Amino acid sequence: MGTQTDAKFVWQEDFEIGVETIDKEHKRLFQIINKLFAFKEEDKNSQWACQEGVKFFKAHAVRHFEDEEAYMASIDYDGLEKHRQIHKSFRENTLPALERELNETDYAPDAVNHFLGVCAGWLIGHTLTEDLSITGKNSGKREKLLAGDELTATKKVIIQLVFDMFHLESHLISDVYGGEKFGHGFYYRLVYEIPQEEKRQEIFLIFEEKLLINTVGRIMGLQSNKLDTMLTHAARFTARQFVGRIMKQFPELEPYELTEENILSYDQFQEAFEKDDLQISLLFDTGAGYFSYCVVAPQVAQDDIAPAIGVENAMAEVEKYLMERDAQDAGEHKPKVLIVDDSATIRESMKQLLSEDYDVALAESGVAAIRTITLDEPDLVLLDYEMPVCDGKQTLEMLRSDEAFADTPVIFLTGKRETQSMIEVMPLKPEGYLLKSLKPMEIKKEIDAFFERKNA
């Protein structure tokens, strides 16, 4: 389980919408959250203090919602009804469920972390998306300015929204992200449906953990360098509102309702990530970490990928996720090997050969290999020399053109040994060559020998 650290919710000028009464209540809600952070750390009278703090927070939240809705009505804000529904859901569903959990567990630390994480994440996401739209301080007033197809519009919305929320300049790395593994990644799945029409969309948000720490964690004042329970809950609710804000830009998506939420392991993500149904698959670099936004429209519902998260099991699922993640991190770290080959047969046979001793990743093309190496640099790349479109030599040239990967070890996989080809790639500093015609155990022996030399 992730270690909890002291937290202090940091109020920033970015949260101010320019309406005195609303800004004042926002600050007050932040202050109450900070009080609850402090109460949680106290040994004496912690439960009583938390009980009183929760009541205080709820009372102020309800009053704030009323004041905010009254202001929106006074200016004829066209998003009032939608905003009112968001307030109602939090007031009548989320808060009561969290309160029940606190009471049923006698204010156990995990339940308090769940309450604080959800409230903090909801406040961050709601303040930086819906509330700032009231006075046009974020992309909410740009809906009619969007031009082009859905993919182009989605890119613009995401880049603007990340800047509005966190003042990070996002750069699109690829609009064909293929599900490559992030180094320390957080894989989050949201399912939206129009039940009466049997329409369904699955949205995947994949974050480098450090991006969540540098954004949501920074606002919460957390000093941890990894996800913990409170930050995970806060990240969930911030991400949900991030997606909701994106969907709001497209009128055809407004009827969709959130019906399921999952936190996935990478293997579960791979299982759920169906390339044939991909509508949008974007990969961004924010400078503070990578993230991907993917939309899938499956023909058949993908059930039993992972337990659906609800208020009643959120604590258990987040704890389970963090424990499994920490156990994996604490275990023996296998060397990472990336296999790049356009043949699925070659990729799978090599994976079976090496997976017992190595952490194996696969890429089907040179471009996919560059994405994989960028997101999770391997200890060795086994690179097919004879790939179409972008062959092994071109792939290695791209890799060596980036100073960060100038020394990434690469061994070519080749169907035949050609002296001239070897001479041409010598300036790119490959570690060597392996003939695909070698017996499997001879290939394995060569790779083992490479790591023995490297570790000597």
Taking CA atoms, 245 is separated from 83, 242, 397, in Å, by: 12, 5, 40
pTM for the model: 0.83
CATH 3.40.50.2300 domain position(s) in the chain: 333-455
- Given this model, what pLDDT does residue 295 score? 92
**Strand partners of residue 201:** 192
CATH topology for 333-455? Answer: Rossmann fold (3.40.50)
Average pLDDT, stretch 152-165?
91
Average pLDDT, stretch 33-51?
68
The contacts of residue 161 (CB under 8 Å, 6+ apart) are 129, 138, 139, 242, 245, 246
Res. 184: pLDDT tops 70: yes
Residue 391 burial by CB count (10 A; 0-12/13-18/19+): exposed, middle or buried? Answer: middle
Res. 145: pLDDT tops 70: no
pLDDT band at 126 (very low <50, low <70, confident <90, very high): confident
Helices (H), 138-228: 150-166, 209-212, 218-220
pLDDT band at 441 (very low <50, low <70, confident <90, very high): very high
Average pLDDT, stretch 12-27?
78
Res. 293: pLDDT tops 50: yes
Distance CA 217, CA 207 (A): 13
H or E element in which residue 412 lies: strand 410-414
Average pLDDT, stretch 300-317?
81
Structure tokens at 206: 């994949």
pLDDT band at 10 (very low <50, low <70, confident <90, very high): low
Res. 402: pLDDT tops 90: no
Higher pLDDT among residues 381 and 436, named by residue: 381
- Given this model, what pLDDT does residue 239 score? 93
Lowest mean pLDDT among 12-26, 108-122, 214-228: 12-26
pLDDT band at 6 (very low <50, low <70, confident <90, very high): low
Per the listing, tokens 């499997």 go with 440
Q: Give the side-chain half-sphere CA count within 13 A for 199.
A: 9
Helices (H), 291-410: 314-330, 344-354, 366-375, 392-400
Q: Convert the pLDDT of each residue in 340-392 to its tens digit.
A: 999 999 999 999 999 999 999 999 999 899 999 999 999 999 999 888 777 88
Res. 143: pLDDT tops 60: no
Q: Sign (positive/negative) of CA torsion 81, 85, 88, 90?
A: negative
Question: For a pLDDT cut of 90, what percent of the chain falls above it?
Answer: 32
- Given this model, what pLDDT does residue 185 score? 92
Lowest mean pLDDT among 103-117, 252-266, 419-433: 419-433
- Given this model, what pLDDT does residue 275 score? 61
Taking CA atoms, 350 is separated from 155, 336, 338, 360, 389, in Å, by: 36, 13, 10, 9, 22
Structure tokens at 306: 């992972």
Average pLDDT, stretch 186-191?
95
pLDDT band at 148 (very low <50, low <70, confident <90, very high): very low
CA 311 distance to own-chain centroid? 20
Res. 150: pLDDT tops 90: no
Res. 188: pLDDT tops 90: yes
CATH 1.20.120.50 domain position(s) in the chain: 13-328
8 A C-beta contact, residue 341 and residue 365: no
Res. 455: pLDDT tops 50: yes
**What is the side-by-side strand order in the sheet with 380-384?**
359-363, 336-340, 380-384, 410-414, 432-435
Buried-exposed string 119-158: b where 16+ CB fall within 10 A, e elsewhere: bbbbbbbbbbbbbbbbbebbbbeeeeeeeeeeeebbbbbb
* Mean confidence (pLDDT) of the chain: 84
- Given this model, what pLDDT does residue 21 score? 79
pLDDT band at 334 (very low <50, low <70, confident <90, very high): confident
Q: Where are the beta strands (DSSP E) in 96-219?
A: 171-174, 185-194, 199-208
Question: For a pLDDT cut of 70, what percent of the chain falls above it?
Answer: 88
Lowest mean pLDDT among 249-253, 267-271, 300-304: 300-304
Name the CATH superfamily, with its identifier, for domain 13-328.
Hemerythrin-like (1.20.120.50)
The contacts of residue 215 (CB under 8 Å, 6+ apart) are 165, 166, 168, 238, 288
pLDDT band at 419 (very low <50, low <70, confident <90, very high): low
Average pLDDT, stretch 125-129?
78
DSSP single-letter state for residue 78? T
Average pLDDT, stretch 173-199?
89
The C-alpha angle 193, 66, 53, rounded to 5 degrees, equals: 90
Per-range mean pLDDT, top range of 56-65, 133-142, 213-222, 303-312: 213-222
Res. 409: pLDDT tops 60: yes
Q: Extract long-range pairs of 137-140: CB within 8 Å, 24+ residues apart.
A: 137/17, 137/18, 137/164, 138/164, 138/165, 139/164, 139/245, 139/249, 140/79, 140/245, 140/248
